[in-house]
Amino acid sequence: MTDVQDGDILEEDSGQENGVQTNHYSSISPPASPVLQEEPFSTYFDEKVHIPEAPNQMFSFRKLWAFTGPGFLMSIAYLDPGNIESDLQSGAKAGFKLLWVLLGATIIGLLLQRLAARLGVVTGMHLAEVCNRQYPTVPRIILWLMVELAIIGSDMQEVIGCAIAFNLLSVGRIPLWAGVLITITDTFAFLFLDKYGLRKLEAFFGFLITVMAISFGYEYVLVKPDQGEVLKGMFMPYCAGCGPVQLEQAVGIVGAVIMPHNIYLHSALVKSRDVDRKKKEDVKEANKYFFIESTIALFISFLINVFVVAVFAQAFYDKTNIQVNDMCNATGSPHTNLFPLNNNTLEVDIYKGGVVLGCFFGPAALYIWAIGILAAGQSSTMTGTYSGQFVMEGFLNLKWSRFARVLLTRSIAITPTLLVAIFQDVHHLTGMNDFLNVLQSMQLPFALIPILTFTSLTSIMNDFANGLLWKISGGIVILVVCAINMYFVIVYVTALNSVLLYVFAALLSVAYLCFVAYLSWHCLVALGVSCLDCGSRIPFSLSRHTDIFLLSDMDLDAGVNR
């Protein structure tokens, strides 16, 4: 066995490490500590779901049911208020023409989630924990801060989405800031549902997804979109007559669907199943069932997103403000002033979306829309909180009480949200949402590059490391996704029309690109580009073995401390 401090590499044979028996299929394990073993530490994984035996069966529905849960929790990020807003804007601005982009982004998301799930199953550690053990101190802290920024940005959209839903349901009686406080309170309550059993918590998330499906499905049936146009938009990768507005919307769809913190979340959630990592067949089987479950979950989330796009494509594509104003006047809506008397194309967000549905299809459509948004915001806020806990525990190796961890992760994300809610009007949140989408787009490399890096290292994944096809396709997918999102960032920055902001953005970009280049360098070495393996920064380098270069490049002080 080769000692590389913080990330231990196992050879073919089993061996002893700190008194813990290890083998070929448990290549990296958290360091044993007598102190930590004596102190109980409450986590999401205190209860593990038992996997039933099904000998001599290629496929078992009982086993699939046992593995069902993590994929559906992961899929909630594809249904958060930011995604719903992207969907309705896509329908209103481009009609059915960008449904194929939504389909492609969902498939790409599935492939990336597959990598996250495999990392958690094979190593028994989630992505934040692996990053903590593989990157030196300074890059590790920067990476943690970047991921926290992504979680805060996502959380702000989710909590404000809930607050908007409360505002719509109460006919404006509950202001935005009060809706945020309600969301914070009920999120704390719901997060402790797992004390009553992990499966009950997963069932609650399943219930919220069902509420979304019924709510947005009702709108779909009510509006009756042209099914031929839906299928044409979904399977014909073409956008006739599209311009910069539709291109920007297509980029926004990709950015909304593929979220950085969701990669960290999924790699952690799969640890909730009782998989014997010492047995290759059990690990292989877990990977198979988790992939099937993720496929089903993302298919359902895709259908719900299609409902939203199709509703707004059918009812509001090419509508002008004055047309909507007239209809709202005719139905006696109190929100007529939201739509100025001009012939500009209608612009909608999740708040205005509910209003126009109410104007055109009656109050029931508005309230059912609000219920769907509330379910989307509540469920994604809860999973966002879990993401924050996993990321903070993994990167910082925190061993705090459960309540302290929830309180800290909630406070970090909620404080800026509450400030926005107090000082911002519910009618003028589109600009903030654009900024938050840009913020999350910038953080994508900090999840996608590490997950490709670690799942490509045979010293971590053993027989389950990415093959050549996955390395090439994964690299191309990540490059394309990051390029698309950088385009989105550039479009946003150039629209600011401020020299001072341009200078600030340029300086920020230099530091940002340097860090991305650092992560990419490690990733390329892990992918087998040996010419970039130019030597380690520590005396006992193992860089002559490309696949274990990164493991040898550790921060020694951090290794001693842990």
Q: Tell me: the pLDDT tens digits for 51-91?
A: 888 777 788 899 999 999 999 999 999 999 989 999 999 99
DSSP 8-state symbol, 562: -
Q: What is the pLDDT of residue 349?
A: 87
Domains of the chain: 61-442 (1.20.1740.10)
Distance CA 9, CA 1 (A): 7
Higher pLDDT: 141 or 502? It is 141
Q: With left for phi above 0 and alpha for psi between -120 and 50, is residue 18 left, alpha or beta?
A: left
What do you get for the CA distance between the two ends of the chain, in Å? Answer: 20
Q: What is the pLDDT of residue 536?
A: 42
Higher pLDDT: 382 or 13? It is 382
Average pLDDT (364-377) is 94
Q: Write the pLDDT tens digit of every residue in 197-213.
A: 788 889 999 999 999 99
Computed over every residue of the chain, the mean pLDDT equals: 81
Distance CA 288, CA 332 (A): 55
CB 91 within 8 A of CB 313: yes
Q: Quick check: 309 pLDDT over 90?
A: yes
Secondary structure, 3-state, 518-529? HHHHHHHHHCCC
* Angle, helices 430-443/81-94, rounded to nearest 10 degrees: 110
User: Confidence class of residue 191 from pLDDT cuts 50, 70 and 90?
Assistant: low
CB atoms near residue 510 (< 10 Å): 8
How many percent of the chain have pLDDT more than 90? 40
Average pLDDT (460-478) is 90
Q: Quick check: 96 pLDDT over 90?
A: yes
- Cα-only R_g, the chain: 24
Q: What is the pLDDT of residue 50?
A: 87
Q: What is the pLDDT of residue 29?
A: 41
Q: Quick check: 5 pLDDT over 80?
A: no
Q: Quick check: 97 pLDDT over 50?
A: yes
Q: What is the pLDDT of residue 480?
A: 86
How many percent of the chain have pLDDT more than 70? 83
Average pLDDT (253-271) is 90
Distance CA 47, CA 126 (A): 17
Higher pLDDT: 418 or 386? It is 386
User: Confidence class of residue 43 from pLDDT cuts 50, 70 and 90?
Assistant: low
Per-residue CA distances from 294 to 113, 116, 203, 342, 351 (Å): 8, 11, 16, 45, 30
Distance CA 152, CA 261 (A): 10
Q: Quick check: 295 pLDDT over 90?
A: yes
Q: What is the pLDDT of residue 32?
A: 36
Q: Quick check: 18 pLDDT over 80?
A: no
Q: Quick check: 17 pLDDT over 60?
A: no
Average pLDDT (257-269) is 92
Q: Quick check: 188 pLDDT over 80?
A: no
Higher pLDDT: 470 or 413? It is 470
Q: What is the pLDDT of residue 290?
A: 96
Strand (E) or helix (H) holding 16: strand 15-17
Q: What is the pLDDT of residue 430?
A: 60
Q: State which amino acid sits at residue 43.
A: T
Average pLDDT (499-510) is 84
Average pLDDT (226-246) is 90
Q: What is the pLDDT of residue 429?
A: 65
